[in-house]
Structure 1
Amino acid sequence: MTAPVPLTLGYGDLHPFAKVQLQDHESVRQLLRTLLDPLQPFFSPAKARVRVPGGTGVRFDQTAAEVEGICRPLWGLAFLLAGGGSYANTNSWIEGIKAGTDPESPEYWGNPRDNDQRMVEMCPLGVAFAIAPQFWQSLSEKEKGNVEQWLGNSINTKEMPNTNWLWFRVFANLGLKLNNGKYSEERLQQDIKHLEGFYRGGGWSNDGPEGIHQMDYYSSSFAIQFLQLIYAKLAGAEDPERAKEFKDRARLLALDLVHYFDDEGRAIPFGRSLIYRFGVVSFWGALAYADVELPAPLSWGMVKGIVLRHFRWWQSQPDIWSSSGTLTIGYSYPNMYMAESYNSPGSPYWACVAFICLAVPPSHPFWTSEETPLPKSLPKVKAIKQPKHIISSLGSHYFLLSSGQACGYPMKGTHAKYGAFAYSSAFGYSVSPGHFTLGQYALASQLGFSDDCGEFWKARRLSEYSALEEREGLPVLVSIWKPFPDVKVRTILIPPTEDTPNWHLRIHRIEAGRDVMTADGSFAIANTRALDGRHLDPYDAKISEGTFPRYLNNYAARTQDGYSSGSQGAFAVSKGAVGIRALEQNSQRSATLVEADANSNVMESRTVIPTLEHTIPKGQTVSYMSAIYAKPAGSAVSKTEYLSGWDSPPEVPKWVFTEIAN
């Protein structure tokens, strides 16, 4: 048998993924095949493992990492086959499942232990058995027994994290149940009952029990709501009451989640596991798969548009691939700084959950409807109670304000992934590549504090208090947090208004029990000239590009032309415009451009962050009133309009002065 020839991407080559003209069911099938094909050379001899190129380590063993490599693409393959599609290399997965679950095979996947990564990979395997008959039917009786023992039954008595992971055991058992295999009905029901305790209302489930506030894409597309809808489809006849409840929740969630996607097809990056990339869109295909009746004003043409525009945006991101054509760890480009300790080279293929739309029949309105844009009747500013988000699409900028969320366990970059003030579909968020000086902390949309003259910085991670409140009919987010035990911060986040659609406000009341330096950052933006990719020059209105004040790189002397007054502010213009100004009277803050370390931002690899800086002496209480400007580039926005609102910042509402005085 001839060995598969690896795909090789050279200088300027486009991945086949980028060449598919997306318009219908068949074109999305072809899109998936361009993801699966490059994996063929990386299957092990018995096909039980896939060693996705990368070579980086992960918190679990190498075998489990290679089990990810075969099982995660199975999401897409199973959906393809369930919808009547075909794939030439399906047998690689069938043979791999046989060998991987055979304890006598040298490529046996291994017996799961407590809290084992193998538990996660049982979910796509269980779903594949449930929806694509050829997987189960291809097994001999002995092989079925091996699968029964490894899938579900091996973990029914094991400890699992008290998170979305419990859904994975549900589907391990359900996949066996639907094929009349050996499984545990008692465990299946116990797990679902326990998972019900994660529900918080309004369609939203928490990724964990009471006491944890974590509602990211695991609450919708990566796991919980996505899997609830698959359960409703597969178990609806036997469990109609629960299936109806899950569909009702999805209808509620849809009216919130639609605000997380912009007109260009981008999702707002928020939270962990963003290496799953287009996996964030799976919820919308799951609605169709589970035959959910859409709530007004949504239509199937709109839902189809969300999915296809999102895929098209990823088609326009050429740097997400390895030279072998496989997905990399990262977001818009390979990026280990944003990665979590559980991200192996095979992990990004959880993105294949997005292809659940392929399991939807071509006759469904999802496919037969004409693709349409987002509904104009959606509110431009919406407060979402459960995740404590306020989302705005004013000024053609889709972003969210956030307060109160935090990861329930130690995680790299948790202050950036959950604790930042704002997250943007155009400007993303930034993580810290290092922990020495401000540039390495890359405090985009964060307020940082340093008590050692700027070497180490602390930003908001946990809030002692956080709430979605209202002031004069406008939603605001209020939080109280402490970067140090003797430094107390009260922050109020105020969304844009129609009068100043590209501005939002941050109000900080700071009680300093020690000397602290502060740095209040705007969004990060690409620090590259359109002409040649070099760093931005001083702003030139003739080409609508550059910075104010002058950008000083980390090797440059700290000359005065690199600073301006806080009231003048700082801005950067490249792929749109971002900036920040101090609105407090007689502001003592200065404005500058912070050169963020390379690869700190999830969207752009080279960025700069307009920032307001100050030092607060011990014992003082000060108030900051920061106005943050952001206007993304777009097909409908002229470059000459990028700074059109910069000279007209919003007025600070009168109630703010009363509130911060108390």
Structure 2
Amino acid sequence: MDAKTGMVLGFNGVHPFSKVDISDRASVQELLRTLLDPLEPFFSPNKARVRCPGGTAVRFDLSASDVEGIARPLWGLACLLAGGGEYHGTEWWVEGLKSGTDPENPEYWGYPHDNDQRMVEMCPLGFALAVAPVFWDNLTEKERSNVETWLGNSINEKNMPNTNWLWFRVFANLGLKKNGGKFSQDRLDSDIKHLDTFYRGDGWSNDGPEGIHQMDYYSSSFAIHFLQLLYAKIAGDEDPERAAEFRSRAQQVALDLAHYYDEEGRSIPFGRSVGYRFAMVSFWGALAYAGVELPAPLTWGMVKGIVLRHLRWWQTQHAIWSPSGTLTIGYSYPNMYMAENYNSPGSPYWACLSFICLAVPADHPFWTSEEESQWGHIPSVKALKHPGHIMSNLGGHCMLLSSGQACSYPMKGTHAKYGGFAYSSAYGYSVPPGLFSLEQYALASQLGLSDDGGEYWKTRRLSEYAAIEERDGKPVLVSDWRPFPDVKIRTVLVPPEEATPNWHLRIHRIEAGREVMTADGAFAICNENSTDGRYLDLYDAETGEGTSPKIIGNYDLNTPAGWAKGSEGAFAASKGAVGIRSLEDKVERSANLVNADPNSNLIENRTVIPTLQHTVKSGERVWYVSAIYAKPSGEGVPKRSYLDGWNAPPTIPGWLKAEMAS
């Protein structure tokens, strides 16, 4: 790499991140360095700002975006230094702290306003001050005063969102406190006391007050649990009661969170900000950092395995980098459709949270244990009361069924990020890149309804009722929702069973006060063949790839070859196979393949979605019973086996027949 011009990843370029053989602590240290090195050309002259390439705007000012650029990688650097590691560019961040907090410097960061993004970036700065002495020790008295004023006084005087943000102010004060700087103990205590009102029980915290049901990765790895554990480590001697409580919560929730990570290292993408990528496993390194005693049956080998397998999986995602070697906005490739309005080019470096494991001593069992898998030791199906999820690890992937969660405001694609029925570690969710036709709505794992002939589609976002219930002694998820005021839907989600591990059921009872078209989508799957990368053709048993029926586009919807009976279903096979078929006998739905617009899915940039379609007349009440098939590809899974279970779907359970009859 040329330090002055930055690396250029060309046609066959492979990022140094993907070349590290991850096996031990030293290799993970090197992995972090491959993330930090490409940032060098993007530092400002006085080192206070990092402007990552991309040029995209966010809801806050460009200066705050530049502060993100320097502060977020500091999560990784601070962890490296806290664990005794070294980095040749540490001085860049030391100088940046001096320049950015100096009102007389042209690169001064500026005082934050109420609800200012700068407050978020004060969290890694506070953490770095608390754990890496190089930052405070290299400041003069005047520079320390500048840091105290910018980091302490300014944030303590401002309003903050009533969310996980309050933890960021805690760490701004904590960083100053650990160095004898000016801070507010009253503010620190009052913020933690208020954050405790987010606690819901059994280890789970909500990302907000009563009335909001949002328990995504912010509740664990991105913010709340992660920062609770860091607090327990840094402030535990002075605040032992709180530290013990935070460790206890982590012990409880660990047995639930273990269900979100599969054998291949993939996490289940769910909710907002998944563009922070490998930050999804930060919780597990923080357990070791905070000295938590693991609950049985978890072992440190299992925890280590979750973290290292996850990092290895991201090493296989070669499209996540810009040509300059910096992280892009997106998930498995650059994607602005799934981005939030607060994702600047520097935002993805919140992923550096995952390197908290580098602050863990080399002799900790996290590092000395042999890697293990948690699977085979924890249940393959488990209902999680607080997030409203039923987790499963059957059929080759981890999956969660979800009902009742919603972001507190209607962010872009919020219905897809929280309101979908099923989320898979193998297939990811899809977001709409446009507002016309099913191709643009990309209704993966969603039921869409249209009252205008198929231009606009409404899906589940807010539920009037959502709960885990039991049927025949097994958990199901029940939700009531209204896409239109006079259209009421009850949805029941049934997880896979050992006998049919690749299938789950979705039951919809629809009472329509107006005529509506319906579209029930399966998972989205890669729409490319492995020979020449063209769209999938009709299924070929010899290659193990293709679709049934034929893929049609939005210009030839009336092509008979593109439709099948709902009972016959529709499937697509490429990287594994997904499909959907109807089990009900009183409604005749039709099956087809929706050729979703490119870049709608998080993991694959070209996808197709097997879908069942129908029209419900005004005044009708109908039952849909959809069986959704998913068998991912993987090591040791022959292509010809992708559809082994397709012709043996589950039957309608007896309890459901009784409910439908009544």
How does the TM-score come out when normalised to structure 2?
A: 0.99
Counterpart for residue 426 of structure 2: 426
**Secondary structure of the structure 2 residue equivalent to 1:152:** helix
Q: State the Cα distance separating 1:11 from its structure 2 match.
A: 0.7
Counterpart for residue 136 of structure 2: 136
Q: Is the 8 A contact 1:481 1:489 kept in 2?
A: yes
Q: State the Cα distance separating 1:555 from its structure 2 match.
A: 4.0
Q: Is the 8 A contact 2:251 2:294 kept in 1?
A: yes
Equivalent residues in 2 for 1:257-656, closer than 5 Å? 257-556=257-556, 558-656=558-656
Q: Is the 8 A contact 1:268 1:399 kept in 2?
A: yes
Counterpart of 1:171, as a letter, is F
Q: State the Cα distance separating 1:376 from its structure 2 match.
A: 1.0
Q: Is the 8 A contact 2:516 2:615 kept in 1?
A: yes
Distance in 1 between residues matched to 2:150 and 2:375, nearest whole Å: 47
Counterpart for residue 101 of structure 1: 101
1:74 aligns with 2:67: no
**Secondary structure of the structure 2 residue equivalent to 1:179:** coil
Counterpart of 2:122, as a letter, is M
**Secondary structure of the structure 2 residue equivalent to 1:398:** strand
Q: State the Cα distance separating 1:194 from its structure 2 match.
A: 0.1
**Secondary structure of the structure 1 residue equivalent to 2:153:** coil
Counterpart for residue 187 of structure 1: 187
1:227 aligns with 2:208: no
Counterpart of 1:179, as a letter, is N
Q: State the Cα distance separating 1:371 from its structure 2 match.
A: 1.4
Distance in 1 between residues matched to 2:512 and 2:151, nearest whole Å: 55
Counterpart of 2:93, as a letter, is W
Distance in 2 between residues matched to 1:132 and 1:8, nearest whole Å: 32
Q: Is the 8 A contact 1:566 1:587 kept in 2?
A: no
Q: State the Cα distance separating 1:3 from its structure 2 match.
A: 6.6
- Choose 636-645 or 200-209, whichever is displaced more: 636-645
Counterpart for residue 23 of structure 1: 23
Q: Is the 8 A contact 1:525 1:575 kept in 2?
A: yes
Q: Is the 8 A contact 2:587 2:622 kept in 1?
A: no
Q: Is the 8 A contact 1:448 1:459 kept in 2?
A: yes
CA deviation vs aligned residue, 1:35-59 (integer Å, no higher than 9, x gap): 0000000000110000000000000
Distance in 1 between residues matched to 2:467 and 2:557, nearest whole Å: 43
Counterpart of 1:595, as a letter, is N
Q: Is the 8 A contact 1:578 1:631 kept in 2?
A: yes
Distance in 2 between residues matched to 1:302 and 1:655, nearest whole Å: 38
**Secondary structure of the structure 1 residue equivalent to 2:507:** strand
1:211 aligns with 2:211: yes
Counterpart for residue 9 of structure 1: 9
CA deviation vs aligned residue, 1:226-261 (integer Å, no higher than 9, x gap): 000000001111111110110011011111111100
Q: Is the 8 A contact 1:297 1:375 kept in 2?
A: no
CA deviation vs aligned residue, 1:358-394 (integer Å, no higher than 9, x gap): 0001011100111122241211101001000001111
CA deviation vs aligned residue, 1:101-145 (integer Å, no higher than 9, x gap): 001110000010000000000000000000001111010000000
Q: State the Cα distance separating 1:542 from its structure 2 match.
A: 1.1
- Choose 77-86 or 372-381, whichever is displaced more: 372-381
**Secondary structure of the structure 2 residue equivalent to 1:154:** helix
Counterpart for residue 256 of structure 2: 256
Q: Is the 8 A contact 2:435 2:456 kept in 1?
A: yes
Q: State the Cα distance separating 1:209 from its structure 2 match.
A: 0.3
Distance in 1 between residues matched to 2:545 and 2:515, nearest whole Å: 37
Q: Is the 8 A contact 2:263 2:375 kept in 1?
A: no
Q: Which runs of 5+ in 2 are unaligned?
A: none
Distance in 2 between residues matched to 1:152 and 1:554, nearest whole Å: 56
Distance in 2 between residues matched to 1:453 and 1:410, nearest whole Å: 25
Q: Is the 8 A contact 1:397 1:502 kept in 2?
A: no
Q: Give the superposed CA RMSD.
A: 0.9
Distance in 1 between residues matched to 2:3 and 2:510, nearest whole Å: 64
Counterpart of 2:521, as a letter, is G
Counterpart for residue 171 of structure 1: 171
Q: State the Cα distance separating 1:557 from its structure 2 match.
A: 5.4
**Secondary structure of the structure 2 residue equivalent to 1:599:** coil
CA deviation vs aligned residue, 1:459-489 (integer Å, no higher than 9, x gap): 0000000001111111000000000000000
Q: State the Cα distance separating 1:306 from its structure 2 match.
A: 0.7
Q: Is the 8 A contact 1:571 1:577 kept in 2?
A: yes
Q: Is the 8 A contact 2:152 2:182 kept in 1?
A: no
Distance in 1 between residues matched to 2:179 and 2:483, nearest whole Å: 54
Equivalent residues in 2 for 1:36-51, closer than 5 Å? 36-51=36-51
Counterpart for residue 83 of structure 2: 83
Counterpart of 2:431, as a letter, is V
Q: State the Cα distance separating 1:661 from its structure 2 match.
A: 4.3
Q: State the Cα distance separating 1:543 from its structure 2 match.
A: 1.1
Q: Is the 8 A contact 1:479 1:491 kept in 2?
A: yes
Q: State the Cα distance separating 1:153 from its structure 2 match.
A: 1.6
Counterpart of 1:247, as a letter, is R
Counterpart of 1:584, as a letter, is E
Counterpart of 2:399, as a letter, is F
**Secondary structure of the structure 2 residue equivalent to 1:604:** coil
Q: State the Cα distance separating 1:397 from its structure 2 match.
A: 2.1
Q: Is the 8 A contact 1:583 1:625 kept in 2?
A: yes
**Secondary structure of the structure 2 residue equivalent to 1:251:** helix
Counterpart for residue 117 of structure 1: 117
Distance in 2 between residues matched to 1:555 and 1:619, nearest whole Å: 31
**Secondary structure of the structure 1 residue equivalent to 2:271:** coil
**Secondary structure of the structure 2 residue equivalent to 1:466:** strand
Distance in 1 between residues matched to 2:564 and 2:465, nearest whole Å: 34
Equivalent residues in 2 for 1:140-155, closer than 5 Å? 140-155=140-155
Counterpart for residue 201 of structure 1: 201
Q: Is the 8 A contact 2:590 2:613 kept in 1?
A: yes
Q: State the Cα distance separating 1:602 from its structure 2 match.
A: 0.3
**Secondary structure of the structure 2 residue equivalent to 1:514:** coil
Distance in 2 between residues matched to 1:566 and 1:394, nearest whole Å: 25
Q: State the Cα distance separating 1:660 from its structure 2 match.
A: 3.6
Distance in 2 between residues matched to 1:3 and 1:235, nearest whole Å: 39
Instruction: State the aligned residue count.
Output: 661
Distance in 1 between residues matched to 2:410 and 2:454, nearest whole Å: 24
Counterpart of 1:505, as a letter, is L
**Secondary structure of the structure 1 residue equivalent to 2:477:** strand
Distance in 1 between residues matched to 2:163 and 2:55, nearest whole Å: 28
Q: State the Cα distance separating 1:275 from its structure 2 match.
A: 0.7
- Choose 393-402 or 314-323, whichever is displaced more: 393-402
**Secondary structure of the structure 1 residue equivalent to 2:154:** coil
Q: Is the 8 A contact 1:298 1:375 kept in 2?
A: no
Q: Is the 8 A contact 2:437 2:554 kept in 1?
A: no
Distance in 2 between residues matched to 1:211 and 1:619, nearest whole Å: 33
Distance in 2 between residues matched to 1:394 and 1:89, nearest whole Å: 45
